[in-house]
Amino acid sequence: MSAKLLSFAKPEKARPSDAHNRMNSSDSGVEGTYASNMSEEDKQKWKGKLVGSKSGNFRVEIRKIAEGTNILVIVNGEMPTIEKFKMRGRDPYQYKYKVHGNEPHQVKMSANGPMYFTPELWQDLQQAIREARQVLSLLDDPARVKDTLKTIRAGKHPLIG
């Protein structure tokens, strides 16, 4: 089996949270503005995190820091019990609206700034999304859910051995 790109291991903190928050404050002096607190080695990894295990609507969050930009890609699975519509307003002016961003098998991408992709980084992004979809397909099989969750919670890649 070929090497896998996603790492499901939780990155270790590079420094204690209080020291990190003091180092990363906003212009107004508020401590704790978001900045990654991990080693340079971990910043280079494609980090995968499985979410939705309580609801059964599994998604894989893929995170990568590239060219100083924090990239987040969310890959949805089957999402069998997700709400497609919600109600808004009060009677008699209540109406139904479609919930966006919660479609099965949808991919959502965001970042904190411009994203620049070298050809290699672009290929890696596509590979990471393919891996996330393969992991989600394991979770679509009721016979494999328990073992797959156990593997991911242990910080291991479920597609490797």
Nearest to 132 by CA among 103, 98, 158: 158
Q: Which two tokens stand for residue 109?
A: 């991408």
Chain segment 120-156, per-residue pLDDT in tens: 999 999 999 999 999 999 998 899 999 999 999 999 9
Q: Using an 8 Å Cβ cutoff, are 45 and 39 in contact?
A: no
The pair phi, psi for residue 93, each rounded to 5°, is -105, 30
What's the predicted TM-score (pTM) here? Answer: 0.82
Chain segment 34-80, per-residue pLDDT in tens: 778 888 898 889 999 999 988 888 999 999 988 888 999 999 998 88
3-state DSSP call for residue 135?
helix
